[in-house]
Amino acid sequence: MTISELSIRRPVFATVLSLLLLIVGIMAALRLPIREYPDIQQPAVSVNVTYRGANAAVIETRITQLIENEVAGLEGVDKVISRSRDERATIDVLFTPSRDIDSAANDVRDRVTRVIRRLPDEADPPQVEKVDSGADPVLFVILSSNRRNALELTDYAERYLVDRLGAVPGVASVFINGARRYAMRIWLDRGAMAARGITVNDIENALRSENIELPAGRIESRQREFTLRTDTSMRSEEEFRNLVVGRGRDGYLVRLGEVAQVQLAAENQRGGSATESGPALLMPVTPLSTANVLEVADAVKREMALIREGLPEDISFEVNIDNSVFIRESMRKVMMVLGETGVIVLVVIFLFLGTVRATLIPAATIPVSIMAATIVMAALGYSINTLTLLGAVLAIGLVVDDAIVVLENIVRRIELKEPPLLAAINGSREIGFAVIATTMVLVAVFLPISYLEGNVGRLFSEFGVSIAAAVAFSAMVALTLTPMMTSKLFSRGIHRGRIANAVDRIFRSITDGYREALRWTLSGVRPVVVLSLAGVVAAAAILLMVVGWPWQGMRLPTELAPREDRGRVQVIVQAPEGSSFEYTERQLERVAEIAYEEVLRGNATRVIRRTGSWQNQASVSTGMVFMPLKPWGERPDTAEQIVARLQKRTADIPGARVVPRSPGGLGGSGKPVQLVLQGPEYRAVADVAEKVMAVASQHPGLANLEMDYEERQPQLRVDVDRNRAADLGVSVTAVARALETMLGSRVVTTFLMGGDEYNVVLQARDDQRASVGDLDNIYVRSERSGELVPLASVVRIQETGAASELRRFNRLRSVTVSANLNPGFALGEALEYLEQVVREQQGDVPIQIEYDGESRELKRSSSGLMLTFAFAMLIVYLVLAAQFESFVHPLVILAAVPMALTGALFGLWLFGSSINIFSQIGAVMLIGIASKNGILIVEFANQLRDRGMEFLEATIEAAVTRLRPVAMTTLATAAGAVPLAIATGAGAESRQSIGATVLFGSLFAVVLTLFVVPALYAKIARNTRSPQYLSRLIDRLRGAEGGQPAPAQAPGPAA
């Protein structure tokens, strides 16, 4: 007894089974977290080492290389990226997704411990920390005031806002961009210090020894006990001014206020952010990776509303950039598409079956299968996100297919006057093998997607598994609930209305025409002509649209993911290396004025500017301008149009490189083009990079070309005359410490104010560190005589140019050439062009090419998806071979796949889309969708041959009989993709890619399958047998042993 017959005999059992799946699925769905994309955080560990006084070259050779060589051999390392700057080395170790971050961090700490003894003694101990490499803020909160300055705003935010927002459930961190924290700034006057015989070291020692708070024991008596505390810490400007820092030559006590200006001011005066109305702070709120992003955003907004009730009147506290809006809008659009798809699919089914009762049967499959898939998602720790919802949209067209096939076969038997109960049993048994075969094929197609490498693999594992689970449950529902409902709803026969009869007449005419066309096609040599023509069409489409031969005009562009309008634009402003903070600020103000025009146009809500970059907030030669845009329906221009206009308006700004861009989704926030050139020496690699940039700057598709190695940072190299210093009793350490404190800034101690701890910072006055000549009046004390020695007598100063940062990629010295893409140009063709330019320009320099960022993901995903496509084809072939007990039948079934790919390429070209991960995933899906139709035809042709029908007649009859279910399932799948292909709003670009692929691929596949599959079957499957042939033969032989006649001859060989 089959499961279908059991369900028909026990209808309550079949109903309860489906209801249980539905109820448990709803419970699982309510517990799933909601995010924009699956969690794609890459385990990363960062190692930071400080080596004061060392330049970037020394850091690279004596620290960076040693640590890199030690950690590179760890298990699961994906890439190692290092940056060597003056006095600091940063080594980022990124691991494969399967690596546990805690064990990875422990392994890195262990390896770093081994190398510590080989590092310079003067270097600080390495700091190892885990890095949240993939976390994106969900909200950017802005704090501004019309009366307070950045210093007061920062203090208010740290005292009253950061902790409250950080305590909201689901929030991982709250950071303040543009912060200016209070500090006790001590501006040293070198002239006054020299006149009184005071050195930098004297002041540092006085501050450390006099500004302390220590326990002093306790006093005990029989009745009471007191704890003693020695409080000599300083808390005010006056107390610091009165600090004794030494004695003059005549014994006079020298106080700090006599040799320095003491002021409560900002610790960092070389940064900040502002809006068009005044200073402001930008506070990114980052959620936990496991949190529901939308719930976190709503909770933070509720907390902000409570905070605003107690804010001073002059302070404004608002959400500046809300990434949850894009996520929410994108998911709302997908949910709308989900509903539209369901309606369209049911309309298609109704048109073919003609009755509401018949339409309700496959309609019941949709909620049960989709909700049952959430059980698997919950068990695997998945989330409800854009990709799983996209999978649900596509699954609607797939999950109804099995129900349609079973229903159509039962209805056909009822129309042939078979009793409805027997028709349900026999019809489901007759089609059961085909249902199981198509389900296994679809599951076999989607599961390999889960094994893709890198971020793309993690992104689409949830997509593939969710669809595979929905399809698997749909097969179970189709073989249990569908036969039972059909036997109940049609127990009194089928009563068709006028619409159904009209559709029947039309389809009967189509069927008659198809029968004659197919009979003509399968006669003589015409099958060979049909197959050859189909092969030529598929090959021509691939050559023209993928390879671009012989005409590049129709070649489809390739990229990682379509560029999306995410509701914000940012402009990066890069001033020349060595530019002052004031110079960069002036450039930022000019760009902000131009950007403010978009506010006046009604595109943006406000303009915010800030110095520093995301990677290096201390950089004073870099700045950024942010523009949060109005909602999609409330502004006249798209983000790309705004970027294009800003590129034209800012192109003529002298003295700065201005790069407007719209941050992407999957591509991240960096430039899409990131070509990493590796070689033995920085200068040699940089020379090649400069030649590549000179040539590539002529390419119309590349914009804002730059490389990360430039020997343009002006430096003053201080060479210590060691012999002279030794003669005078001056140590090299004293020289370096004096320079660091006077010309840089040095935190020497802390003080308390209002219950919080702040730094005490030493630095020379601004007017005494403005030129090279200011070095002449800095003094150090001789350890031998105690006299002051001018630095000019022991050092030589030389002005040079040097690279501000030296980078390494996977343990090799590297220079990265990066660029943005102009509208109409894709990442794939840009990388191909640059690779060709590198080969032409490298000469004798041994250059290796690597990729980073979006370019790396594109290269990895392209090769990975090609392998996945090949593996999916192989797995499907083997699954079909096992099911059909033949190595020939799978070839016939899979012949429809090239036709489907031809349609997919045409659809992408027609919609102006690209070959990206979404369209490539759709192409992998087409393997299962196209194979499904072939299975229906081949499986029924085998059944007819087993019943004794002549081979050619069986082929024609199978194709004609299965025309209706093939058309119904294909149109249902295509109809499900229509809302995706014509999507609008947030995230529409990605939905359009996969929608166009599935829509045109499935339509092309069905049109050509109806002729190609029968033609190929007629040519190569004549000598094959059905999977049940040997079983039936064995049964007949056993029957012959029991007295029944044996077959006249043995069967022919099965292919």
Q: Per-residue pLDDT for 1051 more than 50? A: no
Half-sphere exposure of 903 toward its Cβ, with a 13 Å CA cutoff? 26
Band of residue 734 on the pLDDT scale cut at 50, 70, 90: confident
Give the model confidence (pLDDT) of 916-928 as tens digits. Answer: 878 888 888 888 8
Residue 813's pLDDT is what?
92
Cβ partners under 8 Å of residue 550, min gap 6: 543, 544
Question: Which of the given ranges, 177-181, 456-460, 569-573, 742-746, has the highest pLDDT on average?
Answer: 569-573
Which whole-number Å values give the CA distances from 585 to 579, 589, 622, 801, in the listed order?
Answer: 10, 6, 9, 24
Residue 1050's pLDDT is what?
39
Residue 47's pLDDT is what?
92
* Nearest C-alpha neighbor of 272 from the set 754, 660, 701, 623: 623
Give the model confidence (pLDDT) of 936-988 as tens digits. Answer: 888 888 888 888 888 888 889 988 988 888 888 888 888 878 888 887 777 77
**d(C-alpha 52, C-alpha 65), whole Å:** 18
Phi, psi of 126 (to 5 degrees): -60, 140
Give me the percent of the chain exceeding a pLDDT of 90.
10
Helix, strand or coil for residue 844?
coil
- pTM assigned to the model: 0.73
Q: Which residue has the tokens 């250059």?
A: 847
**d(C-alpha 630, C-alpha 329), whole Å:** 13
Averaged pLDDT, 192-209: 86
Euclidean distance between the first and the last CA atom of the chain, given in angstroms as a whole number: 30
Q: Per-residue pLDDT for 1049 more than 50? A: no
Give the model confidence (pLDDT) of 887-926 as tens digits. Answer: 888 888 888 888 888 888 888 888 888 888 788 888 888 8
In the chain, CATH 1.20.1640.10 covers 1-31+354-487, 496-555+886-1024
Band of residue 411 on the pLDDT scale cut at 50, 70, 90: confident
Tokens of 319: 């959400």
Q: Per-residue pLDDT for 544 more than 70? A: no
Residue 675's pLDDT is what?
92
* Average pLDDT of every residue of the chain: 82
Give the model confidence (pLDDT) of 864-877 as tens digits. Answer: 667 777 888 888 88
Look up the CATH superfamily of 496-555+886-1024. Answer: Multidrug efflux transporter AcrB transmembrane domain (1.20.1640.10)
Paired residues of 764 in beta bridges: 188
**d(C-alpha 1027, C-alpha 153), whole Å:** 78
Q: Per-residue pLDDT for 138 more than 90? A: no
Band of residue 1053 on the pLDDT scale cut at 50, 70, 90: very low
Residue 215's pLDDT is what?
64
Q: Say which residue, 1036 or 19, is predicted with more confidence.
A: 19
Query: β-pairing, 77-85 with 805-809?
Result: antiparallel
In the chain, CATH 3.30.70.1430 covers 43-132, 578-661
Q: How many CB atoms lie within 10 A of CB 249?
A: 8
- Domain 1-31+354-487 falls under CATH 1.20.1640.10: yes
- Can you point out the beta strands (E) in 270-398? 273-275, 278-287, 315-322
Residue 1045's pLDDT is what?
53
Give the model confidence (pLDDT) of 498-535 as tens digits. Answer: 776 777 788 888 888 989 888 888 886 676 667 667 66
Amino acid at 909: W
Residue 28's pLDDT is what?
92
Contact 969, 401 (CB under 8 A): yes
Averaged pLDDT, 607-617: 68
**d(C-alpha 274, C-alpha 276), whole Å:** 7
Handedness of CA 129, 134, 135, 137 (dihedral sign): positive
DSSP H/E element including 883? helix 853-884
Fold entry, domain 43-132: Alpha-Beta Plaits (3.30.70)
Q: Which long-range contacts (CB under 8 A, 24 or more apart) does 190-196 make?
A: 190/742, 190/764, 190/768, 190/774, 190/777, 190/778, 190/779, 191/768, 191/777, 192/258, 192/259, 192/260, 193/259, 193/779, 194/777, 194/779, 194/788, 196/246, 196/248, 196/252, 196/254, 196/258, 196/259
DSSP H/E element including 530? helix 526-542
Buried b (16+ CB within 10 A) or exposed e, 483-520: bbbbbbbbeeebeeeeebeebbeebeeebeebeeebee
Which whole-number Å values give the CA distances from 462 to 36, 345, 391, 500, 873, in the listed order?
Answer: 13, 24, 9, 40, 21
In the chain, CATH 3.30.2090.10 covers 182-266+713-802
Averaged pLDDT, 41-67: 86
Give the model confidence (pLDDT) of 760-787 as tens digits. Answer: 988 888 777 766 666 667 888 888 777 8
Q: Give CATH for domain 578-661.
A: 3.30.70.1430
Averaged pLDDT, 449-467: 75
Q: Per-residue pLDDT for 67 more than 90? A: yes
**d(C-alpha 275, C-alpha 283), whole Å:** 14
Give the model confidence (pLDDT) of 295-344 as tens digits. Answer: 899 999 999 999 999 899 888 898 888 888 878 887 787 788 778 878 88
Cβ partners under 8 Å of residue 289, min gap 6: 39, 41, 132, 134, 135, 172
Q: How many CB atoms lie within 10 A of CB 766?
A: 9
Fold entry, domain 139-181+271-326: Alpha-Beta Plaits (3.30.70)
Band of residue 1052 on the pLDDT scale cut at 50, 70, 90: very low
**d(C-alpha 178, C-alpha 149), whole Å:** 12
Q: What is the CA radius of gyration of the chain?
A: 37
Residue 270's pLDDT is what?
67
Tokens of 608: 């915010």
Tokens of 747: 């935190």
Q: Is 258 exposed, middle or buried (0-12, 13-18, 19+ CB in 10 A)?
A: middle
Half-sphere exposure of 19 toward its Cβ, with a 13 Å CA cutoff? 6
**d(C-alpha 108, C-alpha 101), whole Å:** 10
In the chain, CATH 3.30.70.1320 covers 139-181+271-326
Please tell me the class of the 182-266+713-802 domain.
Answer: alpha beta
Give the model confidence (pLDDT) of 630-649 as tens digits. Answer: 887 788 888 888 888 888 88
Give the model confidence (pLDDT) of 816-833 as tens digits. Answer: 998 888 766 778 888 888
